[in-house]
């Protein structure tokens, strides 16, 4: 039952990727197909015998089904393609091929933290800057420290910087240009990024993904290169995909 639920969950994610037009075309084509002559359907509904043949795991799917799901970048299907290719190349059974696939998966994870470093660095820098921007504007001790080190402006008398808002009013004279310029810079970068996305361009992400894929192919040249590339590219940087059977 757990594997069935996992399979249904994957099917749901596939359905979300389809556009309304594709969904209409698929539905129309399915409704136009006559019932199979072998008695699998009765009055437009599946029979018990046919329902028992429903594949509940990716391992039980046909080659055509696996290839179709792999084209949709479903991790389990990409894994299944490699396993079946291993079975053919090495002339071994499924369980033995799974052991070799696990080695392939481990190889694909090598150096992943290094590739993820720019993303972690960007996140850490943005998060840290956001947190420290608040006390640099409203906390008197932090404002005085920053002023002494980098600004050297004259502060109001102590009785005029009692509340956080008064401190913010005093520090805003030098914090406004900094925060304003950073905000405008980030706005421009965000707009530039959105245009790259419209063009389908992700320079660093695509580069590191292609590098990992080619490395995996060179490490296992005896197996189908396209299957290895597809699996490598759908593997997440932050951690391996949680895959069902």
Condensed to tens digits (0 to 9), the pLDDT of residues 109-157 reads: 998 889 999 999 999 999 999 999 999 999 999 999 999 999 999 999 9
pLDDT for 39 equals 74
167 and 138 Cβ atoms separated by less than 8 Å: yes
In the predicted model, residues of the chain with pLDDT beneath 70 are 1-38, 244-245
pLDDT for 245 equals 63
pTM confidence score = 0.71
pLDDT for 28 equals 38
pLDDT for 53 equals 85
Distance CA(203)–CA(197), nearest Å, equals 10
80 and 61 Cβ atoms separated by less than 8 Å: yes
pLDDT for 36 equals 52
Name the one residue in this structure whose structure tokens are 């079946």.
84
pLDDT for 42 equals 85
pLDDT for 38 equals 66
pLDDT for 4 equals 47
pLDDT for 10 equals 55
Structure tokens at 99: 């052991």
Distance CA(36)–CA(30), nearest Å, equals 12
pLDDT for 96 equals 96
Residue 147 C-beta-side C-alpha neighbours within 13 Å: 21
Coil vs helix vs strand at 223 = coil
């Amino acid at each position: 039952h757990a594997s069935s639920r996992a399979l249904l969950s994957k099917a749901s994610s596939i359905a979300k990727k389809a556009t309304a037009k594709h969904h209409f075309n698929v539905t129309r084509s399915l409704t136009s197909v006559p019932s199979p002559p072998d008695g699998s359907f009765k009055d437009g509904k599946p029979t018990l015998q046919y329902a028992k043949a429903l594949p509940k795991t990716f391992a039980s799917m046909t080659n055509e089904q696996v290839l179709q799901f792999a084209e949709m970048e479903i991790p389990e299907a990409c894994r299944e393609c490699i396993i079946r290719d291993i079975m053919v190349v090495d002339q071994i059974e499924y369980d033995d091929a799974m052991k070799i696939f696990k080695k392939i998966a481990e190889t694909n994870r090598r150096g992943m933290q290094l590739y993820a470093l720019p993303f972690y660095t960007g996140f850490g820098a943005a998060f840290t800057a956001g947190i420290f921007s608040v006390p640099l504007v409203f906390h008197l001790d932090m404002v005085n420290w920053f002023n002494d080190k980098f600004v050297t402006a004259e502060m109001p008398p102590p009785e005029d910087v009692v509340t956080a808002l008064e401190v913010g009013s005093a520090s805003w004279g030098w914090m406004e240009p900094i925060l304003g310029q950073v905000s405008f810079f980030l706005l421009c970068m965000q707009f530039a990024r959105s245009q790259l996305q419209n063009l389908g361009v992700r320079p660093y992400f695509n580069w590191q993904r292609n590098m990992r894929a080619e490395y995996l192919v060179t490490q296992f040249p005896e197996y189908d290169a396209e299957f290895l590339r597809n699996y490598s590219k759908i593997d997440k940087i932050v951690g391996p995909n949680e895959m069902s059977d």
